A and B are shown apart, each in its own frame.
Chain A
Amino acid sequence: MNWPQTEAGLRRRRWRIAIYGSFAVGVVGLLVGVNVGLDLAGALLYLGGVAVGSACCLYACYWDDLTLSDERFAAIERRASHYTVSLIAYVGLAIFPLLFVLEAAGEFTFGPALEAALYAASALFVLWSVVYVVLRIRA
């Protein structure tokens, strides 16, 4: 573990703890709340954690002029998005056409969960296509 030595490094570390800590408190609070029957308290804790974490992130990035993330992180995010979308596309293309054929043949019926997954995947790729076209026009 490399501990920060510079003032900027220490500030970055403090902001990261504040951001990730807030999100963690919110998520853990929600899970605990739901499991002990305090749904509203858990949901409020989640809302608070997400709000504080997001506010810290916005402040640190836009007002504190601190480099929390840089081009390498952006490149990793692009790769992660590419792999995720590709995985959904390949799995979807491998499964759904076959299921349509089976349904048409009376051998299969789409359940609510699978139907929701189909609509969610379709919405994702419609959105992806719109963003792609906009970026291509602007490129």
Chain B
Amino acid sequence: MNNDLRERREAEGLSQEELAVAVDVTRQTINAIERERYDPSLELAFELADHFECSIEDIFEPDAA
């Protein structure tokens, strides 16, 4: 899954740890999502979308086949 989480986070001036605290996960998980090594659950994807006030599809998009 591709995502633009890093760009959105940096645009808000947040560190990975601050975003992690905001959505109640660990900093390592935010790092893994940004590096596209971990696909978040639907629940966490909604949390992130809520935080950035956008839809899940705005942040995440499936890998090109």
Binding site for B on A (CB under 8 A): 2, 4-6, 8-9, 12, 67-73, 75
Q: Across the interface, which residues of A come within 8 angstroms of B24, CB to CB?
A: 67, 70
Query: At the interface, is chain B mostly helix, strand, loop or mixed?
Result: helix
Interface residues of B (CB under 8 A from A): 15-18, 20-21, 24-29, 32, 38, 40-41, 43-44
Residues in chain B near residue A8, CB distance under 8 A: 17, 21
Within 8 Å CB of B15, what residues of A? 5-6
Contact B21 A72 (CB under 8 A): no
Chain B nearest CB from A96 CB (Å) reads 37
Say whether A70 contacts B21, CB under 8 Å: no
Whether B17 pairs with A71 at a CB distance below 8 angstroms is: no
Jot down 21 A-B pairs with beta carbons below 8 A, ordered by A: A2-B17, A2-B27, A4-B27, A5-B15, A5-B17, A6-B21, A9-B20, A67-B24, A67-B26, A68-B26, A70-B24, A70-B25, A70-B26, A70-B29, A71-B25, A71-B44, A72-B25, A72-B28, A72-B29, A73-B29, A75-B38
Contact across chains for B21 and A69 when beta carbons are under 8 A apart: no
Closest B residue to A4 using CB positions = B17
> B25 contacts A5, CB within 8 Å?
no
Q: Are A6 and B17 in contact (CB under 8 A)?
A: yes
When distances are taken between beta carbons in the complex, the residues of chain A under 8 Å from B29 are 70-73
Nearest A-chain residue to B18, judged by Cβ: A6
- Report the separation of the CA atoms of residues A26 and B24 in the bound assembly, to the nearest whole angstrom: 31
